[in-house]
């Protein structure tokens, strides 16, 4: 995670065991979803940077995620 204004590194979100293919923020920016070739989607609290949920069950690589308002 980097600060978009300064370019400063903030932290690494650790959780996926393989390449991350996509990210999506909620409209409020409070949560982030990430998807990976490890066949999971992770939901992150973007205030604490904690993984709050891991969604499993896909049989193939997940290439993107999106939040709809």
Domain that holds residue 65: 1-69
**pLDDT above 90 for 51:** yes
Task: Give the number of other CB atoms < 10 A from CB of residue 22.
Answer: 14
**pLDDT above 90 for 69:** no
Total count of residues recorded for the chain = 69
Query: Mean pLDDT across the stretch 14-38?
Result: 96
The reported pTM is 0.88
Q: How many domains does the chain have?
A: 1
- 56: three-class secondary structure by DSSP: strand
Question: In the prediction, which pLDDT does 26 show?
Answer: 96
Question: In the prediction, which pLDDT does 63 show?
Answer: 95
């Amino acid at each position: 995670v980097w600060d978009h204004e300064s370019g400063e590194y903030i932290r690494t979100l650790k959780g996926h065991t393989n390449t991350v293919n996509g990210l999506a923020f909620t409209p409020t920016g409070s949560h982030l979803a990430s998807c990976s070739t490890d066949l999971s989607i992770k939901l992150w609290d973007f205030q604490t940077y904690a993984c709050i949920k891991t969604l499993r069950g896909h049989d193939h690589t997940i290439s993107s995620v999106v939040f709809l308002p």
